[in-house]
Amino acid sequence: MPIFVQSKLGMQFKHPEILWALVLLLIPLLIHLFQLRRFKKTPFTNVAMLQKVVSESRKSNTLKKWLLLLTRLLMLAALILAFAQPFSATNTALRQKETVIYLDDSFSMQAKKNGLSLMEKSIQDLLKNIGPENTFSLFTNERTFKNVTIKDIQNNLLSLPYSHKQLNFEEIKLKAGTLFSGINTTSKNLILISDFQTRMGMSTSHLDSVVNIYYVPIRPREVQNVSIDSTYLEKSVTAQSKLTTLLSGGLDSENLPISLYNGDTLIAKSSADFKANGTAKVEFSIPSNEELNGHLRIADNSLTYDNQFFFNINKKEKIKVLTISDSDSGYLERLFTQDEFIYNKHPLTQVDYSILDQQNVVILDNLKAIPNSLQKVLRTFKEDGGTLIVIPATESDLISYNQFLSNFFATRFIENVSLNKKVTTISFQHPLYKNVFEKEVYNFQYPSVKQFYKIQSRAPKILSLEGNEAFLSGNDGFYFFSTSLEIGNSNFKNSPLIVPTFYNMAAFSLKAPETYFTLGRTNTIDIPIDLGNDDILNVSKDGYEFIPLQQTFPNKVRLTFGDTPTVDGIFSINNEGDPLKNISFNYPRNESNLSYFDIGFIESKNMQDSITSLFEFLEAENSITAYWKWFVILALLLTLVEVIIQKYVT
């Protein structure tokens, strides 16, 4: 490998060892100074004329010899310097280079500029400007190519899909840091090609002192983008339900057509009328209690990924509720109506334990004791994902209850207290009551109790009595009251609170799918099916198939979606090829707001307005100017000068 050094004259040489030849220039100089040449004497009779000739000849010869000596010395010096290959360059030009490129492939790069999307234009510029033999690393929001040439990844770049993921600035720096080597002597360049949306969380901090970060902001000419943000269904007891769709990004008073499809069939069209704040709301009437594979579409020339929105309405699965009680539980039967629930009640002595694992909810209502055999079955039922609700009697066997309750949140009934108290506190943030109330209400008609049990438990309180005593506690499929709900002891049955309380406890037992889910988030649904030990469910759409994370229970399968799927659309959940129900996924709408970060704080040398200008700048920064040709030309010119002196100087 060539050795580069810095000379005292400020010039650098590729082969500095050749400069030792300059010492040889002293030899002709010494010969001339000491006049070592021997002269032959010739007799001459005319002494007077001889003195004149000798005087003029010596002056002329001395001048000519000095000119020839100087010319030859300069010519030899020029040749020696030419062979030493002099050049000039910056410090970074002489160091080995490491280049890492971040290419933003998020959906905001779909915006167009001069007829091409920002990502397409960026890829074309990279293909044009990166040398075919240059080695570099490139990463996007999801993919990584390490130590490759542009030929290696050309096809990958041309077929690169857009991603709903977006790395923030800190994540970009961390990822880039893993692609650089640990060699301190190399020159490290990080090139960021992006539209730099505000959600990237830009920072003025750098990786470290040895990494040069270059920014190439790629922005569209127009920043307006209309997006379908969300949709929700308002249930109705009539034959028609109302589907509301929210849009954003439109101009004031702009009307944009929007279409609703069921599968590939157009079933409704409307127009979005945008307000001054750029939002619009569109309502559609759709049949109630009918399955619908919904697909909303608009026509917008900016980003395309948010011009469609998928949702589906499946046939609602009925929740199985079993009450074990020896008293009148008619209020529960009235709560769990036949259109949404399959409700059954059995006395304690007539319960068939074998059917418990087929239920979604089991309620122990007003039992004086819980037999050991039932305790064991109920523990297994809860471990398998069932929901358990415990309502004690006024005179319960505390030993029996505590033996069972201690398995859940370390719960214990301490003592039976006969004291009139009101329910005064609602935990509005508890999942049971979240989104139930429009606002936190404190002046409602408080239910009251005459007798209750003091409780010791780690379970969160849902409803509390005066003095912060628990009335209803629990979470995650296990709930228990501290008092009997019999009319003689409490008027809770007549309180408006009873409806959302019991309805949500039962509804949460089966994670029914929403009308749609958002990609990139953890989503969970329950499929009511009894699978064999080796059976699994798969999810598919148009040839794209995957197996989600699943947990099997006796009466249902819980599916969890995280990194899959990766594309939007309506998917089918299948069991051995038989479709069970559909589920919809949409891309997150974070990229739809075309708001960009002001990168004016960056030094001008670290920011370029195009990829082409950046590579031109880097080429100039890393260029090496060689001078050996000029020294060769100088040597030739000096040779010509010597010939002229020899011929014309007398």
Taking only the tens place, the pLDDT of each residue in 332-368 is 999 999 988 999 999 999 999 988 988 999 999 999 9
171, 177 in Cβ contact below 8 A?
A: no
Task: Check residue 630 and give its pLDDT.
Answer: 81
pLDDT tier, 456 (very low <50, low <70, confident <90, very high otherwise): very high
Q: Is the peptide bond before 460 cis (omega within 30 degrees of 0)?
A: no
Task: Check residue 431 and give its pLDDT.
Answer: 87
pLDDT tier, 9 (very low <50, low <70, confident <90, very high otherwise): very low
Mean pLDDT over 503-528 rounds to 86
pLDDT tier, 35 (very low <50, low <70, confident <90, very high otherwise): low
* Chain segment 154-197, per-residue pLDDT in tens: 999 999 999 999 999 889 989 998 999 888 778 888 999 999 98
CA pair distance 14, 438, nearest whole angstrom = 79
How many residues does the structure list for the chain? 650
Burial string for 142-173 (b: 16+ CB within 10 Å, else e) reads eeebeeeebeebbeebeebebbbbbbebeebb
Q: Which of 509, 518, 507, 510 is nearest to 583 (CA)?
A: 518
CA pair distance 266, 264, nearest whole angstrom = 7
CA pair distance 520, 142, nearest whole angstrom = 12
Q: What is the layout of strands, in order, in the sheet containing 578-586?
A: 517-518, 578-586, 569-575, 537-541, 544-546
Q: Which of 281, 288, 242, 279 is nearest to 258 (CA)?
A: 281
Cα four-point dihedral sign 574, 577, 578, 584: positive
At which residue do the structure tokens 């309405």 appear?
Answer: 313
E strands present in 478-632? 478-481, 517-518, 523-527, 537-541, 544-546, 549-553, 556-561, 569-575, 578-586, 624-626
369, 346 in Cβ contact below 8 A?
A: no
Angle between helices 150-158 and 118-129 (to 10 degrees): 160
Look over the chain and give the mean of its residue pLDDT values, rounded to a whole number.
Answer: 85
Angle among Cα 83, 88, 89 to the nearest 5 degrees reads 130
CA pair distance 543, 565, nearest whole angstrom = 13
606, 215 in Cβ contact below 8 A?
A: yes
CA pair distance 120, 133, nearest whole angstrom = 22
214, 608 in Cβ contact below 8 A?
A: yes
Q: Distance between the two ends of the chain, CA-based, in angstroms? A: 51
Mean pLDDT over 33-47 rounds to 58
* Residues in Cβ contact with 514 at an 8 Å cutoff, skipping those fewer than 6 apart: none
* Chain segment 205-263, per-residue pLDDT in tens: 554 567 888 999 999 888 889 999 999 887 654 567 789 999 999 888 788 999 999 99
User: For the chain, which domains are there?
Assistant: 5-90+632-648 (no CATH), 93-222+595-621 (3.40.50.410), 231-313 (2.60.40), 319-507 (3.40.50.880), 517-586 (2.60.40.10)
- Longest CA–CA span in the chain (Å) reads 164
pTM (whole model) above 0.75: no
Report CA dihedral (370, 372, 375, 377) to the nearest 10 degrees: -130
